[in-house]
Structure 1
Amino acid sequence: MPRKIPASRSATTGFFAASRQVLNAAGQEVPLTTAEYNILHVLARHKGQVLCRDEIIALSKGRDWRCYERSVDGLISRLRRKLQPQDGTSHFIKTVHGTGYTIAPL
């Protein structure tokens, strides 16, 4: 069962506005699917905290929503591609092996 996690106060990461399903990557607006938006929003609200797949699912869709945990991995991969700077530098969304995902500090 996922642990209760307090949300951080800001849901804005500097390039992602919670009010829209787009992000600003390299000066261009990039559209997000609803699932991508939900996951990025959850990670932004819990910036600096490591969330496991179950927590990401519960916080983005609710505890009763059923999906494969690996679906989160696929969505994270798609988000990383959309967030990837053209110079190929490291990912904004970090994997904490054996634990989950977090948004890296800028």
Structure 2
Amino acid sequence: MANIPAVTDADFEAQVLKSDKPVLVDFWAEWCGPCRQVSPILDEIASQHGDKITFVKMNVDENPVTPSTYRVAGIPTLNVYHNGEVVRSIVGARPKAALLNELSEFISVQQP
């Protein structure tokens, strides 16, 4: 399984906004049950598609500035950033198939 690295308010710009490929940021918190449900799904997707999209996690309790800047009101929130902009926002837990579908334009999943 992939070990998705953490990103902080301090390195968000360098790690996410200035990345040359799309970056999915998982905004989460330790106390969030749905966040814990989504985490292993994201690990699986990252291990399969990490060459096309970068995956990082941000703990909203430890890093309040970035979630506030991007108006993250509920968690889990999965924002995909590309060229410094939010290009997709997924709020709430989803099964793997739904996440793959939402991310298909970034991971080039072959549709039947």
Report the TM-score when normalising by structure 1: 0.29
Report the TM-score when normalising by structure 2: 0.28
**Relative to total residues, which structure has the larger strand share, 1 or 2?**
2
Structure possessing the higher relative contact order (Cα contacts under 8 Å, 6 or more residues apart): 2
